[in-house]
C-alpha cells in the first residue's frame, strides 16, 4: 500500500533566468517571485554570483573593484559559489519551494569561454550540480542592452565580450530552454515568464530532483 511520507510531497521547480548583462533578468526575477507567491506557490529568489559569501566577496572584488585574478581561478570561484549553495537549494526544492534563480552555470561557461578558456574545461567544475527544470533565456541585441542604465560599470560589460557571450549561450542551449524576446515591455515579458513557470511547476511536481548538470 502506498504511504505518504515527507519524501513523497511535491517538490518545487528550479526555474532559471539567463542572458547577457542588462537584459532585465533581475527585474523579471523579482516580479516573477512576487507573482508566483501571489498565485499560491511557495517561491524564493536566488542569485548567482551570491556576493554575500566569502567566495562571493572574492568574486565581487574581481567584477566590481578591478581586483585581478587568474581566469581559470576565477572560473573555479564562480563554480564553487554554486556548489556552496547546493544543499540549501536542494532543501528548499525538496520542501516544495520553487526557486527562481538569476544566473547559473550557463553564465559561468559563457563568460569564461568568451575570454578564451576551453569550453569543455569550463563545463567540468559544474558537472553534477542540480539541473534547472526550466531556463528562460532573455535575449536581445547587444546594441540595445548597451543603451541601458549602468552598462559598462562592471568587468565584461563591453560590446565584443557580450557578443561572444551571447553566441556561447546559444551553443549551450538545451531542450528545457525557452527563448524570450527581452525587447518586449516589462509586462509582456513578465506574463510569458509566469505562464512558462506555472507549466514547469506542474510538470516537475512529482519528478525527482536532477543532479545531472552536463552529465548526460
Ligand atoms: N558571471 C556570472 C560569470 O562570469 N560567471 C558566473 O558563473 C556567473 C554566475 O558575473 N557579467 C558574470 C556575469 C556578469 C557578472 O553578474 C555579474 P550579475 O548578474 O550582474 O550580478
Ligand atoms: Mg551585472
- Cα 135 to Cα 38, 83, 100, 175, distances in angstroms: 22, 19, 10, 9
Q: What are phi and psi of 139, to 5 degrees?
A: -115, 135
Atom number of ligand 1 nearest to Cα 102: 19
pLDDT in tens, 149-161: 899 999 999 999 9
At 135, is the pLDDT very low, low, confident or very high (cuts 50, 70, 90)?
very high
136's grid cell: 528562460
Predicted TM-score (pTM) of this structure = 0.96
pLDDT in tens, 43-58: 999 999 999 999 999 9
Ligand 1 geometric centre to CA of 35 (Å): 25
Asked if residue 49 has a cis previous peptide bond (ω within 30° of 0), the answer is: yes
At 216, is the pLDDT very low, low, confident or very high (cuts 50, 70, 90)?
confident
Ligand 1 geometric centre to CA of 66 (Å): 14
pLDDT in tens, 64-94: 999 999 999 999 999 999 999 999 999 999 9
Q: Is the pLDDT confidence value at 6 over 90?
A: no
Atom number of ligand 1 nearest to Cα 79: 7
pLDDT of residue 24: 97
Looking at all shown ligands, the one closest to residue 151's CA atom is: 2
Exposed / middle / buried, residue 45 (Cβ in 10 Å: 0-12, 13-18, 19+): middle
Ligand 1 pocket, residues with Cβ under 6 angstroms: 21, 48-49, 63, 78, 103, 107-108, 111, 154, 156
Amino acid at each position: 500500500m502506498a504511504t505518504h511520507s515527507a519524501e513523497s510531497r511535491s517538490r518545487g521547480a528550479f526555474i532559471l533566468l539567463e542572458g547577457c548583462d542588462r537584459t532585465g533578468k533581475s527585474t523579471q526575477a523579482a516580479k516573477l517571485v512576487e507573482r508566483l507567491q501571489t498565485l499560491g506557490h511557495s517561491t524564493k529568489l536566488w542569485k548567482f554570483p551570491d556576493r554575500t559569501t566569502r567566495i562571493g566577496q572574492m568574486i565581487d572584488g574581481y567584477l566590481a573593484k578591478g581586483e585581478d585574478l587568474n581566469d581559470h581561478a576565477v572560473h573555479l570561484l564562480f563554480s564553487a559559489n554554486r556548489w556552496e549553495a547546493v544543499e540549501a537549494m536542494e532543501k528548499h526544492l525538496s520542501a516544495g519551494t520553487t526557486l527562481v534563480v538569476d544566473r547559473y552555470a550557463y553564465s559561468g561557461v559563457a563568460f569564461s569561454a568568451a575570454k578564451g578558456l576551453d569550453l569543455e574545461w569550463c563545463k567540468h567544475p559544474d558537472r553534477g550540480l542540480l539541473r534547472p527544470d526550466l531556463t528562460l533565456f532573455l535575449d536581445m541585441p547587444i546594441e540595445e542592452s548597451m543603451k541601458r542604465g549602468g552598462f559598462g560599470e562592471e568587468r565584461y560589460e563591453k560590446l565584443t565580450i557580450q557578443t561572444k557571450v551571447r553566441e556561447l549561450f546559444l551553443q549551450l542551449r538545451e531542450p528545457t530552454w525557452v527563448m524570450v524576446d527581452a525587447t518586449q515591455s516589462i509586462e509582456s515579458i513578465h506574463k510569458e515568464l509566469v505562464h512558462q513557470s506555472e507549466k514547469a511547476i506542474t510538470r516537475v511536481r512529482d519528478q525527482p530532483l536532477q543532479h545531472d548538470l552536463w552529465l548526460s
